[in-house]
Amino acid sequence: MQDVSTMIRCELNSIIFLINNGEYTTEAQIHDGPSNVIKNWNYTALVEAIHNGEGKCWTTRVKCEEELKEAIKTVMGEKKDCLSLIEVIVHKDDPSKELLGWGLRLSVANSRPPKSQ
């Protein structure tokens, strides 16, 4: 969020896609447990709080493909002169096969004893 503040101060018209699945999916693949279930933040409200009426910002939360398409259309059109954050809500059990593979490799690497010096 500190970088978002810098983007606003520098008047950057960046588009940020925040993929939110409500947990630490990679960590859960390495070692599952209650520490991977997080208290979800209101990310769009954080940007509004940082913005605080200074600069141009636009945020939205989307939950389906049609909403995402509409949000992209908005940031490429009427909100192109704003810093934009699009929070994309995805199901927590919808990781890619690449992410699952990465988690498995990390789990294996973490379970071996450290190399001696």
pLDDT digits (tens, 9 = 90+) for 6-20: 998 899 999 999 988
- Residue 94: inside a domain, yes or no? yes
pTM score, whole prediction? 0.74
Kindly tell me if the per-residue pLDDT of 24 is higher than 70. Answer: no
Picking from 86, 93, 106, 88, the residue whose alpha carbon sits closest to that of residue 37 is: 93
Per the structure, the complete domain to which residue 8 belongs is given by: 2-101
- Residue 109: inside a domain, yes or no? no
- Residue 107: inside a domain, yes or no? no
pLDDT of residue 19: 86
For the chain, the domain total comes to 1
**CA count, 13 A, side-chain hemisphere, 8:** 21
pLDDT of residue 26: 65
CATH number, residue 33: 3.40.50.970
Q: What is the pLDDT of residues 38-84, one digit of tens each?
A: 788 888 888 888 888 888 999 999 999 999 999 999 999 999 999 99
